[in-house]
C-alpha cells in the first residue's frame, strides 16, 4: 500500500491510502452514505471507483440523487442502487424514471430531518423527535409518534451506514478534515455516521498544518484518507 | 404592463417590500430569486441557503463561478461580508428554531387556509420535498409567489388543495401575477391588485371566495 | 446606547451593545442557560452583571456549577438560583450544601445527554432518544421510554431558555462567533438554545474580518454582542 | 515496593499496557492521569477530553498555563500535532459512537459482573455523574484503576455494589494496588498480581470470589 502512494507523506496512523485500497471496503448490497448536495461536495474518485468495480444493489443514503452525470447521480443513473433514502430526486430525471419503473425504491425524508437522522447516527443516538411532517401522509407513514409537553412529534430514527464517503478540501494524516465553502453541506454529518468512513481530499497536508480551531471533522471519525483527482464532471450550470 | 417592469419582477418587487433590515431570508428557485434585485441598496439582509450558507450575495460574473460555492439549487453564488458556512443540519436548525424570518417560495397550489402544495404531482412528478416542509412549517413568515392560474387557466388558489400538501396552514401571503392576498384566520383577504387587473377578473380566476380589504391598494409599478 | 460604547465599530445589525443594555434582558425567576465547563468559557462580565443587578430565583441550565468563585459558581454560591439542570456539581461544594439544605434543586443529566438536550433545543427539535441511562434509577426517573428496532431508549427532552449567555474569543457585528480552544465547550450549543442570546466577546472585530469557514456560531443565533473585560477570577489551579 | 516505582505509577504503568497505537483514550482524574507517562515514546495515541479536545499532550510548564486550554477536570493541558477542538456535544458523540477505544476511570466500587459505582455516596457526596455514564457505557474498553480496599480496609470489589451504579456490566479490567482482574462472562478472573502480594492476601481483601488464571502473571516493576 505504501509503495503505491504517490504522496510522500508520513502516515503515522496508517489512514492514508490509495483508491484501490479504499475499494476493498465496497461490496454488492451494502449500505453506503455519501456527502454532497446537488453533487457539490461529493467525492468524484470514490464514485468512479464504485462504478468501475461494478458495485451494485446499493442502499444509498444522502441528500439527493445529484444530476444524471454529477455526483452520486452517476451511480443512480446506471441502476446500481436498489434503494435510496434522500430528500429529493428532482434534479435527476433518471432517478424518477427508475422509481416509476419499480427499479429504485425511494424513501423520502424532509431535508432537515434527514440531516438530523444522519447526525444522530453519527452521534450514537437512537432517534430525534421533530414536529416536521407530523400528520403528513407520506412523511409520518409507518413512523412512531409521541406526545411531549402537549405537542405531537414524529420519532425519526437515526441512520448509519457500513461505509460513508465524503469529499474534503484538506485532510491531515489523522483524518482531520476541512471543507470548501458550500461543499461542506452534509459531509461533516455523513463522516460521523459511517461505521467505516473514507475521506477523499483535494489536498493531504502534514500533521499539524491544520489549525485545531478550524477542523470541522475530527479525525476520530475518519478511518481512511485518499487523495482526490478533483471533480471530473461538467456542472449543470456550465 | 407597459410599466417597464415585467410581471415576474413586479411580483418580486412586491415580495421585496416584506423584507426588513437584519432579516434572515430564504428564497426558493424561480421568481423568488429575483427578490434581491428589488431591495434598497445597503439593506442588511442575510440570505440563507439550506446547504449551509448565511450571507449570499449576487450571482458571480460568468466564468468566475466557484463549483464549491453554490446555493441549494446547485447554482453558483457569491457571499457578502459577515457570511458563514455551516453544515446542512445547522442550516435547518436555523429554520426550525424560528431564526429564518422569511421564506419566499413557489407553489403549485395554495388553499384559502394557507395550505401549501408544492412538492409532488402524483403519477407525474415526484421530485421529493427537499427542504420545503421545514421552510413552510417554520419560517416566521411564508410568502408564496406563483402565477394565479396554471398553464390551462385553472385556478391555483383553491378552497382546498387537490395536490398532496407540503404543509398545512403555513402561508401568510400569496403574491400572484394579478393580486396579493393575506391569509387571515383561515380565509383570504385581497389586499392589493396589480394594475390593470380588476376584482371581478381576480374573482373569476380564483378557486375560492375571499374578502376585499377596505383600503385595497392598486400596485402600478 | 451607541454613545456609551467605547468600541468604535459600525453596528449595522444593531447587535453590539453595552453590559447595561444587556442587563435589561434579565429578571427574577427566569430560565438562564450559560456556556462554560468548569468555569472555563463562562462570560465573566455578564455573570457579574447578574450578581450586581441582584437577579434571583434563577433556573439555570449548564454543564456544571463551576467552582465557588469561578464562572456560574459565583451566582450559585450566593443562592441566586432556585434550580439548576447540570451534569455535576462536584467542583462547587457550596452547591452541594445548598442542595442538601433544600435551597437548590438539582436535576442531574448525564453530560453528553445534557449537551444533546441543549443542542436539540437550539435546533428546534423536541427530544433525542439515547440509551445512556436506560434503567438507571435517577436518570430514567419520570422520563418516557421507547423501544426502537429492539432496543430501549430514554426520551430526553430538548432544553431551551429565555436567555442564553456565552463567552466568545471574537465576535463580529452580525454576532458571528469564534471561540478559544477548550473554552468553546458548551458555548456553541448554548448559543443556539436561547430565545435571546447574548455573547460576551473578548474582541469585537469588523464585519468581514472573520473567515466564513472558521465561524463556529453563525450570527443568526446571536441577538446581542457585548465587549468583555476578561476573566476576573482566580483559577482553581492557580 | 522497593522497585523504584510507587504504587500509583505501577498501576498506571500496567494500564498503559492496554493502550495500542492510534487509539483514542479518555482518562479520568487521579491515577489515570499518570498513564501517559508510561507509554512508549512516539506512540500515536489521541487523548480525548469531554469538554471538546482530541490530542492532548502533557501538562504545561508552570506559569505557561492557558486558562482557555483545560481538560474536563478544569486543569491546564497542552495539545499535540493533529489535535482539534470541538464542542462538548461532539466530544460525547465520539464516545457514544464507539470511537473512543479506551477509558481509564477511578471508582468507588466494582462488582464481579463489572458493574461500576463511581458517581454518588448517598447522603454524603452527590457530585453528579458528569460524563462517567457515557464513558462507562460506550467506550470500547473500560478499565478501572482503584485501591483494592477503602480507607477502612473494606473491599471495593464486591459481589454486588452497595452504592448506586453509574452503569452496569461495563468494566472490562480492574487494576488495583494489589492485582489485575479481567471481567469475563459475569465473573472475575485474576490474571496478574503485583509483587509481593499473594493470592491469599488478595482473596482476603476481595468481597467476592474469583478464578485464577492458569498463566497468572506476577508483575514486579
**Residue D163 near residue D114 (C-beta atoms within 8 A):** no
Cell 373569476 found at: B204
Q: Is the pLDDT of residue C6 over 80?
A: no
Q: Is the pLDDT of residue A2 over 50?
A: no
Confidence (pTM): 0.97
D1 located within any domain: no
Q: What pLDDT does residue B2 have? A: 41
Q: What is the ipTM of this complex?
A: 0.97
The CATH number covering residue A23 comes to: 3.40.1080.10
Cross-chain CB nearest to A87 (options B79, B129, B165): B129
Q: How many helices (H) and strands (E) are present in chain C, helices listed first? A: 7, 11
Kindly state whether A181 is in contact with chain B, defined as any CB-CB distance less than 8 angstroms: yes
Range of the domain at A202: 2-237
* Neighbors of chain D by Cβ distance (3+ pairs < 8 Å): A, C
DSSP reduced 3-state for D192: strand
| Higher pLDDT pick, D5 / D61 | D61
Each residue's pLDDT tens digit, D38-66: 999 889 999 999 999 999 998 999 999 99
Q: Which residues pair with C129 in a beta bridge?
A: A127, C155
Average pLDDT over chain D reads 95
Query: Contacts of residue D49 in chain C, CB cutoff 8 Å?
Result: 182
The CA-atom distances, in angstroms, between C16 and each of C13, C46, D65, D124 are 8, 14, 31, 46
Helices D88-96, C111-122: inter-axial angle, 10-degree rounding:
120
d(CA D146, CA D15): 11
Q: Is B55 left (phi over 0), alpha (psi -120 to 50) or beta?
A: left
D2 located within any domain: no
Cross-chain CB nearest to A213 (options C123, C148, C214): C214
Average pLDDT over chain C reads 96
| Subunit contact C235:D66, Cβ cutoff 8 A | no
For residue A98, which phi and psi values (nearest 5 degrees)? -60, -40
Average pLDDT over residues B200-216: 98
| Subunit contact C116:A125, Cβ cutoff 8 A | yes
Residue A5 parent element (H or E): none
DSSP reduced 3-state for B96: helix
| Subunit contact C212:B24, Cβ cutoff 8 A | no
Each residue's pLDDT tens digit, D105-153: 999 999 999 999 999 998 888 899 999 999 999 999 999 999 999 999 9
The CATH number covering residue B62 comes to: 3.40.1080.10
How many other C-beta atoms can be found within 10 angstroms of the C-beta atom of residue C94?
18
CA-based nearest residue in chain A for residue C213? A181
The CA-atom distances, in angstroms, between A131 and each of B68, B113, B188, C160, C220 are 32, 20, 26, 16, 22
Cell 400538501 found at: B165
Cell 477542523 found at: A215
D16 located within any domain: yes
| Higher pLDDT pick, B120 / B170 | B170
Q: What pLDDT does residue B42 have? A: 84
Query: Contacts of residue B127 in chain A, CB cutoff 8 Å?
Result: 88-90, 96
Q: Is the pLDDT of residue D2 over 70?
A: no
| Subunit contact A148:C127, Cβ cutoff 8 A | yes
Domain count, chain A: 1
Average pLDDT over residues D169-195: 97
In which band, very low, low, confident or very high, does the pLDDT at D1 lie, cut at 50, 70 and 90? very low
Q: What is the dihedral of CA A110, A112, A117, A123, to 10 degrees?
A: 180
The CA-atom distances, in angstroms, between C186 and each of B113, C34, C44, C157, D118 are 41, 8, 16, 17, 24
Domain count, chain B: 1
Q: Nearest CA to CA, how far is A195 from chain B (Å)?
A: 20
Eight-state DSSP code of residue C121 = H
Range of the domain at B163: 7-219
Q: What pLDDT does residue D5 have? A: 80
Eight-state DSSP code of residue D59 = P
Q: What pLDDT does residue A156 have? A: 98
Residue B194 parent element (H or E): strand B187-194
| Percentage above 90 pLDDT, chain B | 91
| Subunit contact A237:B71, Cβ cutoff 8 A | no
Q: Is the pLDDT of residue C49 over 70?
A: yes
d(CA A230, CA A47): 12
- Cα R_g (chain A), whole angstroms: 18
Cross-chain CB nearest to B51 (options A99, A185, A216): A185
Each residue's pLDDT tens digit, A78-90: 999 999 999 999 9
Q: Which of B30, B60, B61, B88 to mutate to test binding with chain A, by most A CBs within 10 Å of its CB?
A: B88
Q: Nearest CA to CA, how far is B28 from chain C (Å)?
A: 19
In which band, very low, low, confident or very high, does the pLDDT at B1 lie, cut at 50, 70 and 90? very low
d(CA A174, CA D27): 20
Q: What pLDDT does residue B41 have? A: 86
DSSP reduced 3-state for D165: coil
Average pLDDT over residues B53-65: 94
B2 located within any domain: no
C-alpha cell at A180: 470548501
- Asked whether the CA dihedral A44, A45, A50, A51 is positive or negative, the reply is positive
CA angle C33, C34, C40 (to 5 degrees): 160
Cross-chain CB nearest to D82 (options A14, A174, A192): A174
| Subunit contact A146:C148, Cβ cutoff 8 A | no
Each residue's pLDDT tens digit, A110-149: 999 999 999 999 999 999 999 999 999 999 999 999 999 9
Amino acid at each position: 500500500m505504501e509503495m503505491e502512494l504517490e504522496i510522500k507523506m508520513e502516515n503515522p496512523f496508517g489512514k492514508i491510502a490509495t483508491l484501490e485500497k479504499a475499494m476493498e471496503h465496497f461490496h454488492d448490497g451494502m449500505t453506503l452514505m455519501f456527502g454532497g448536495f446537488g453533487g457539490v461536495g461529493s467525492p468524484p474518485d470514490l464514485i468512479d471507483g464504485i462504478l468501475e468495480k461494478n458495485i451494485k444493489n446499493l442502499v444509498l443514503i444522502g441528500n439527493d440523487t445529484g444530476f444524471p452525470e454529477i455526483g452520486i447521480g452517476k451511480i443512480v443513473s446506471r441502476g446500481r442502487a436498489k434503494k435510496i433514502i434522500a430528500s429529493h430526486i428532482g434534479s435527476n430525471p433518471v432517478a424518477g424514471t427508475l422509481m416509476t419503473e419499480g427499479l429504485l425504491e425511494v424513501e423520502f425524508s424532509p431535508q432537515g430531518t434527514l440531516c438530523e437522522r444522519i447526525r444522530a447516527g453519527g452521534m450514537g443516538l437512537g432517534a430525534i423527535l421533530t414536529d416536521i411532517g407530523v400528520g403528513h401522509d407520506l412523511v409520518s407513514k409507518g413512523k412512531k409518534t409521541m406526545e411531549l409537553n402537549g405537542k405531537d412529534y414524529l420519532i425519526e430514527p437515526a441512520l448509519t451506514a457500513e461505509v460513508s464517503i465524503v469529499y474534503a478540501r484538506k485532510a491531515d494524516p489523522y483524518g482531520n478534515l476541512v471543507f470548501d465553502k458550500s461543499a461542506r453541506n452534509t459531509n461533516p454529518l455523513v463522516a460521523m455516521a459511517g461505521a467505516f468512513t473514507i475521506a477523499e481530499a483535494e489536498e493531504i497536508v502534514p500533521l499539524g498544518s491544520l489549525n485545531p480551531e478550524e477542523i470541522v471533522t475530527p479525525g476520530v471519525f475518519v478511518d481512511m484518507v485518499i487523495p482526490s483527482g478533483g471533480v471530473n464532471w461538467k456542472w449543470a450550470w456550465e | 404592463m407597459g410599466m417597464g417592469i415585467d410581471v415576474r419582477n413586479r411580483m418580486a418587487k412586491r415580495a421585496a417590500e416584506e423584507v426588513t433590515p437584519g432579516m434572515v431570508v430564504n428564497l426558493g428557485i424561480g421568481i423568488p430569486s429575483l427578490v434581491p434585485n428589488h431591495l434598497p441598496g445597503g439593506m442588511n439582509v442575510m440570505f440563507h441557503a439550506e446547504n449551509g450558507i448565511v450571507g449570499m450575495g449576487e450571482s458571480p460574473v460568468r466564468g468566475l463561478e466557484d463549483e464549491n460555492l453554490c446555493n441549494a439549487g446547485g447554482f453558483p453564488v457569491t457571499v457578502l461580508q459577515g457570511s458563514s458556512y455551516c453544515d446542512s443540519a445547522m442550516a435547518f436548525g436555523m429554520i426550525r428554531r424560528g431564526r429564518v424570518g422569511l421564506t419566499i417560495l413557489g407553489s403549485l397550489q395554495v388553499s384559502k387556509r394557507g395550505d401549501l402544495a408544492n412538492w409532488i404531482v402524483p403519477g407525474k412528478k415526484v421530485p421529493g420535498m427537499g427542504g420545503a416542509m421545514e421552510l413552510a412549517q417554520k419560517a416566521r413568515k411564508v410568502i408564496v409567489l406563483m402565477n394565479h392560474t396554471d398553464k390551462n387557466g385553472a385556478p391555483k388558489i383553491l378552497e382546498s388543495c387537490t395536490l398532496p400538501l407540503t404543509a398545512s396552514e403555513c402561508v401568510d401571503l400569496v403574491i400572484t401575477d394579478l393580486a396579493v392576498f393575506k391569509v387571515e384566520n383561515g380565509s383570504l383577504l385581497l389586499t392589493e391588485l396589480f394594475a390593470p387587473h380588476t376584482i371581478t377578473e381576480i374573482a373569476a380566476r380564483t378557486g375560492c371566495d375571499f374578502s376585499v380589504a377596505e383600503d385595497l391598494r392598486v400596485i402600478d409599478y
